[in-house]
Structure 1
């Protein structure tokens, strides 16, 4: 008669293992649980933020493409600062007309001066939106890097405490050593449970943010070209 294998985790009670941990191990395990919640919050929040911004960018770009001229658009187009593409457009237009007004006051107005100010404004806005795309990524990268080391620290500490407890006994056996070692290994498991999903999420979000950065750089270049053509 074939033996029936035991169900998964039947011999392992995570709560009992956690309770066998010392104070340091419990603090590290709870801390890793908090980091896991933070990581999942960042990953879901950043995913939906990038997705929403990409849709808004494409909608705004399509609307601008349908306009016959950009230089004569009303100021209402410059108030949509929440959209990255609109933010670049607003900075470019404000800089263009500001340079034109100052140039006329001083009697040195020129197309070259207007375009130089416009390109500088686009570069500043582009850098600002790049930081916006990459925001919160440093926290996720820190969790990805730090979680396994925190788990390893808890394991090393727990193993050291287990051997220290065995050393004061008259006899040592696997029965006396195993509970302390298993409790110590719990922090390593917790660190890996936090780090493994986080590293996949980080790489996915990093690829998405790089794609959006490339798209906004192309948009800034196309916008500068169109303003130059219309200003002639």
Structure 2
């Protein structure tokens, strides 16, 4: 439920002046405590300790604390019941705007670490309008959180109760008076409290005709003639007890679950007069709440889970607080970790194949980019030397190993020397001989073109095949996800979303291979086309100069 202090999604830091924040997640999905209805305005305790909060970085009195909603923009009302910097323990009560059912996205952020922050004007009066009395037992006077109650006397205090401080029961009842407590005999009315009994016989709660008693560990709620008996109360263990009156029913809850319910008879006495807690009991009591509404079963379940300290519900109590510097990276890392964790085997196979294709594509692009860069440089140097030379037979072509033009020139030079061109007394070249020289150079031009275009086909395979492979991985992954959901019978969006999101990662991987390969292919193709055009022009220019200088006239 309070799957507290999990990694936060990346979003803008609420205030850059704060050095740390802690995320508290209320999990109402099947992994936490499942609720079926949206709850408006519940108030929850947030427990801070050295494992999830940096007390050294915060002020000694906690006056720099701020609480922000899940949107990381909206400040929330809160009240600090306890802040002990020396022992590194704190309890904050936070008013939530709402809690959605069936999701682990309900969250609040606790910010701290701002040296110049002014103290927040907080108030313990956080609860909804239906709440008539809330007693947290945070002081020896046992004062209420809402106005109108008058405690009958001081309360013996236990410093370390369930939430913060608790009251010690010593056989005598703790009592409060107040006009705001009066309730109709037919309701609506709700009472809840936490009890840790050392003895198992006495009156847990009494207000007028409404009573909750325990006898030998067995619980019974009564309202006049109506009785709802059920549930047991173990000794020396904290238990959450709640009684609701309304809709013609008297209902008893124990630890968030309905233990008994009975129909109300007509004519009961009103629920009025002073509140009495713990008559005849010894032990501890904490967080007494009285409201003039009928709290739903989901509300009671949520209150039990949110206020309790069950290890099952606190999924990550050792998560360190976030800092402004690490927030963005941590959030993104958290999202991709979820995707990777939910990848199916077929998606892994596709992604591995795509990774190999990506490495090959990068190698081809790098190798070809280096080749065309060096070739272009040497070609310019050779072409300048060729055009500056007066004798076609004496061009300096050495020291340019990457020049295709130099190699074509050497091929033409070999053909000319076979015909003794340039030797003393050599006969001029006929038209047929010049055509033969050009044909030999054209053959080398074709071979140079093959060399330039070798392995470029691997880029076209990556461009066309990468997205299709990725799509295949996504489709199969989605099929497997829906098949698993059908087998489990769970159609919750939280069960569907991770699998589908992970399946889409295969398509992303396919595009991640194809897009760089597409850009690289277009760049290399234009450079190779330019070099090929230069080679064709050079062949014509070379043959023309040979015909002019050594051809028959």
Aligned position for 2:331? 10
The structure carrying a bigger strand percent of its residues is: 2
Q: Distance in 2 between matches of 1:87 and 1:212?
A: 13
Aligned with 2:411 (options 91, 97, 116): 91
Distance 1:222 1:141, change over 3 A: same
User: What's the offset of the Cα at 1:162?
Assistant: 0.7
Q: Distance in 2 between matches of 1:160 and 1:172?
A: 14
Deviation string 1:164-215 (CA, Å, 9 cap, x unpaired) is 1112123422222222111111101111111112211111111111111111
Q: Distance in 2 between matches of 1:173 and 1:26?
A: 25
Is 1:31 the counterpart of 2:350? The answer is no
Q: Which runs of 5+ in 2 are unaligned?
A: 1-67, 74-326, 421-426
Aligned position for 1:104? none
User: TM-score under structure 1 normalisation?
Assistant: 0.85
What are the residue-to-residue correspondences of 1:37-186 with 2, within 5 Å? 37-71=359-393, 73=394, 77=397, 82-98=402-418, 100=419, 110-186=429-505
Q: Distance in 2 between matches of 1:170 and 1:139?
A: 45
User: TM-score under structure 2 normalisation?
Assistant: 0.38
- Tell me if the contact between 2:470 and 2:509 (Cα under 8 Å) persists in the aligned partners: yes
Distance 1:9 1:40, change over 3 A: farther
Aligned position for 2:508? 189
Deviation string 1:109-159 (CA, Å, 9 cap, x unpaired) is 852232011110121111111112222211111111111011100000100
Q: Which runs of 5+ in 1 are unaligned?
A: 102-107
User: What's the offset of the Cα at 1:79?
Assistant: 9.8
Q: Distance in 1 between matches of 2:434 and 2:400?
A: 22
User: What's the offset of the Cα at 1:39?
Assistant: 1.7
Please say which of residues 147-156 and 119-128 is displaced more in the overlay: 119-128
Q: Distance in 2 between matches of 1:44 and 1:222?
A: 32
SS where residue 391 of structure 2 aligns? coil
Aligned position for 1:105? none
User: What's the offset of the Cα at 1:4?
Assistant: 3.8
Aligned position for 2:549? 230
Distance 1:183 1:86, change over 3 A: same
Greater length-normalized contact order (CA 8 Å, ≥ 6 residues apart) = 1
Q: Distance in 1 between matches of 2:543 and 2:345?
A: 60
- Tell me if the contact between 1:56 and 1:83 (Cα under 8 Å) persists in the aligned partners: yes
User: What's the offset of the Cα at 1:90?
Assistant: 1.4
User: What's the offset of the Cα at 1:82?
Assistant: 4.6
RMSD, aligned α-carbons: 2.7
User: What's the offset of the Cα at 1:51?
Assistant: 1.1
Aligned position for 1:212? 531
- Tell me if the contact between 1:96 and 1:114 (Cα under 8 Å) persists in the aligned partners: no
SS where residue 331 of structure 2 aligns? coil
Please say which of residues 149-158 and 58-67 is displaced more in the overlay: 58-67
Q: Distance in 1 between matches of 2:484 and 2:534?
A: 60
Distance 1:9 1:121, change over 3 A: farther
The structure carrying a bigger helix percent of its residues is: 1
Distance 1:148 1:138, change over 3 A: same
User: What's the offset of the Cα at 1:67?
Assistant: 2.1
Q: Look at both structures and tell me which one has the larger radius of gyration over its CA atoms.
A: 2
Is 1:22 the counterpart of 2:341? The answer is no
Q: Distance in 2 between matches of 1:19 and 1:143?
A: 26
User: What's the offset of the Cα at 1:84?
Assistant: 0.8
User: What's the offset of the Cα at 1:18?
Assistant: 1.9
User: What's the offset of the Cα at 1:49?
Assistant: 1.2
Q: Distance in 2 between matches of 1:216 and 1:222?
A: 10
User: What's the offset of the Cα at 1:227?
Assistant: 0.9
SS where residue 30 of structure 1 aligns? helix
